[in-house]
Amino acid sequence: MANEHAKCLKSLGQNITGVISRPDSNSLSKFKSSFDIDHIFLNAEDALEKKSNWDAVIVCCREELSFSFVHALAKSRKPILAEKPISFDIEELKQLESHKNILVGFNRRFYSNISYIKSELENKNIDLVKICIPESSISEDLGFEKSLPRLVYSNSIHIFDLLTFLFGEIFWQSSVKLEKNKNLQTLSLLGYNEKKINFSLDFPFDYPDNFSVTIYANERRYVLRPLEVLKVYKGIEIIEPSKKVPYRIYKPKLESTFIAETKESLKIGLFEQDRAFVEYCESNKIDSRFARIADAKIALNSISRVENLL
């Protein structure tokens, strides 16, 4: 992610003045030369001592190091954008909540099709939301002491945050699971939010499917599958049986398609997010799409509720 952020910042005309890294890092030399970086800080404390050399910071390191960096750098009171999830520990996130200079990198919030659907569904009657998370159950971290795979916490948390962003906090209340050799194979849950919208969540672990969110509202079906593509359906076309196809076909009518846009070859959502971060640094105005520490807590709490139902 460091390279992706750096490309976005360079495209936005920003100078990357420094980086926190081990001197013996295999990727440091190439990264430094690629983006004309002058300062190498040994740790967060070193960066704080030389904070006159920088105006803001993006934290995009290994997950197990993220909290310590964010916690230390928050003392600078300078703008911080930290890649999700920052921490798998709610108590650690609580320690950061009082720092209003920390933003969390849930870049799916900045997809243009997500902005469209959020506006489109405002004040609409939503009947049902179905979510599919075909996450991988493979983990190289043998010390990860959770029932759900690590990738649910580190990657799928994007989906949980996106659901909160669109619908508010969700309360999962029942689950059905299938295990094989003591490992989760499938998991299905039902939930609701404050508006009493019903939610259905399926985890077909390791199956060949796509991450998706399907929303039934306003006599339409809104389908995010993959999340970068939104298709809106209204009505059904009935195709009667024929010699070639001897059965009746019910074909949903595609009304419109919205594809998340980005600049050139930059990562979708990340460029828009980083541009909003630069604007925050320059004007002190925070884009309403940004997640804060409180939002990261809600997303992590939502996964914890799933965990508690197992």
Domain identity same for 90 and 120: no
Residue 274 near residue 286, CB atoms below 8 Å: no
Of 3-7, 146-150, 230-234, 245-249, which range is least confident? 146-150
Residue 110 φ then ψ, to 5°? -95, 5
Of 31-45, 107-121, 206-220, 271-285, which range is least confident? 31-45
Residue 141 lies in a domain: yes
Alpha helices of the chain — where are they, by DSSP H? 2-11, 28-34, 44-49, 63-73, 90-96, 112-120, 150-154, 157-167, 270-283, 293-308
Domain identity same for 115 and 248: yes
Domain identity same for 240 and 281: no
Domain identity same for 11 and 104: yes
Domain identity same for 135 and 241: yes
Whether the per-residue pLDDT at 182 is higher than 90: the answer is no
Domain identity same for 194 and 284: no
> Mean of the pLDDT values across residues 45-51?
93
Dist CA 176 CA 306 (whole Å): 11
- Residue 108 structure tokens: 């799916």
More confident: 144 or 207: 207
User: What's the angle, vertex CA 124, arms to CA 159 and CA 271, rounded to 5?
Assistant: 40
Residue 161 near residue 297, CB atoms below 8 Å: no
Q: Note down the domain range covering 45.
A: 2-108+268-295
Domain identity same for 12 and 99: yes
> Mean of the pLDDT values across residues 40-60?
94
Residue 303 lies in a domain: no
Domain identity same for 255 and 286: no
pLDDT at 164 (0 to 100): 97
Whether the per-residue pLDDT at 260 is higher than 80: the answer is yes
Residue 156 near residue 227, CB atoms below 8 Å: no
Instruction: Look over the chain and give the mean of its residue pLDDT values, rounded to a whole number.
Output: 94
Based on the structure, what is the number of domains in the chain? 2
Q: Is the overall model pTM greater than 0.85, yes or no? A: yes
Whether the per-residue pLDDT at 29 is higher than 70: the answer is yes
CATH of the domain at 79: 3.40.50.720
